[in-house]
Structure 1
Amino acid sequence: MSKPPHPQPGHMNREAISQLRRVNLRPTRQRIAIFVWLFRSSQSQHVTAEGLHRKLSQQHTALSIATVYNTLNTFVEYGLLKKIYLNSDTAFYDTNTEPHHHIVIGDPLEIRDIPVEAIALASQPQLPEGLQLRSVDVILKADRRS
């Protein structure tokens, strides 16, 4: 799925409503608020539910953390976001749903996109009988030099 277009700020609510309806999601106040924050710029966003909840709270948008989690997971289910698991405790939500890879930079934690063509795999393992490869997601991990 391609990334939703990034309209001017005055049109964000209308654009959010349009994009949510396009994927057959009811445009609730909560979904609109989260959509507008996520797609406010042309840059890809990589957020955790906790981080997004904190940012929305700073903007005086009152949503429970459960609502933020549920909305982000619904957006993943409907193809508006991609979920990136860094480990068993940390998941990021990515506004770029096109095929691509990531580099994770530590302390402070930052995620950047890597174009899919920037990484070439020489081979792929033989999958067990009855399985079909869905995707390959490469996550590079890096530390900043001191």
Structure 2
Amino acid sequence: MDKKPTHSLSDAEVSSQLRAHGVTPTQQRVDIARILFAQPQHLSAEQVLSVVNCDGQVVSKATIYNTLNLFARKGLVREVIVDPSKVFYDSNVSDHHHFYNVDSGELMDIDSQELKLDQLPTLPDGTEADGVDIIIRVRSRA
């Protein structure tokens, strides 16, 4: 997990944020959202499951995945797929890119101002660009 200052959100604040994005706040959704929105961070579904269930709660893996997918569809989090078996849910939904450390499994933000693209390739007919996500894979030097 990223190490950044955390802030605690009340149930009312989280519920309001969920409603503003068209998500009906249930207790499990509020609990999951509170974890995600506590700080800018990149969490896998397994990490969210572990944190949610650490207080003796029992939230199923299916509920975690369904909620994270719903949050991603509604724009509350950004889904970052670093490889077919590893997906992170990024609480920072602003335009930015990532470094992915293949040795440690850590995903780190790259400010969008630090990476410039002069132009995109010619897009297929009848399409328009919806966004550009760049993941630069890094590893420790030998």
TM-score by length of 2: 0.88
Once residues 123 and 74 of structure 1 are traced to their aligned partners in structure 2, the CA distance between those partners, rounded to angstroms, is 32
- Paired letter, 1:28: T
Structure 1: gaps of 5 or more residues: 1-5
CA deviation string 1:99-124 (max 9, x = no partner):
10000113321111111111111332
CA distance change for structure 1 residues 128 and 37 in 2, over 3 Å: closer, same or farther? Answer: same
Q: Which moved more, 1:30-39 or 1:104-113?
A: 104-113
- The number of equivalent residue pairs is 138
TM-aligned CA deviation for residue 8 of structure 1 = 5.0
% identity of equivalent residues: 34
Over 4 Å off, 4+ runs: none
Conserved 8 A contact 1:12-1:40: no
Deviation of the 1:7 alpha carbon? 8.9
Q: Residues of 1 paired with 2:6 and 2:29: CA distance?
A: 17
| Offset from partner CA, 1:116-144 (integer Å, 9 cap, x none) | 11111133211121111111111011112
Question: How far off is 1:13 after superposition?
Answer: 1.4
Which runs of structure 2 are paired with 1:74-85 in the superposition (5 Å)?
74-85=70-81
Specify the alignment match of 1:118 in structure 2.
114
- Amino acid in the other structure paired with 1:134: D
Matched, 1:132 2:128: yes
Q: Deviations over 1:58-98 (max 9, x none)?
A: 23232000000000000011110111111222211110111
Q: Distance in 1 between matches of 2:61 and 2:19?
A: 24
Partner of 1:91: 87
Map of 2:97 onto structure 1: 101
Does the Cα contact within 8 Å between 1:76 and 1:83 map onto a contact in 2? yes
> What RMSD in Å do the two structures reach over aligned CA positions?
1.8
Aligned to 2:28: 30
AA in 2 matched with 1:99: D
Work out the CA distance in 2 between the residues paired with 1:7 and 1:117.
25
- Where does structure 2 lack aligned partners over 5 or more consecutive residues? none
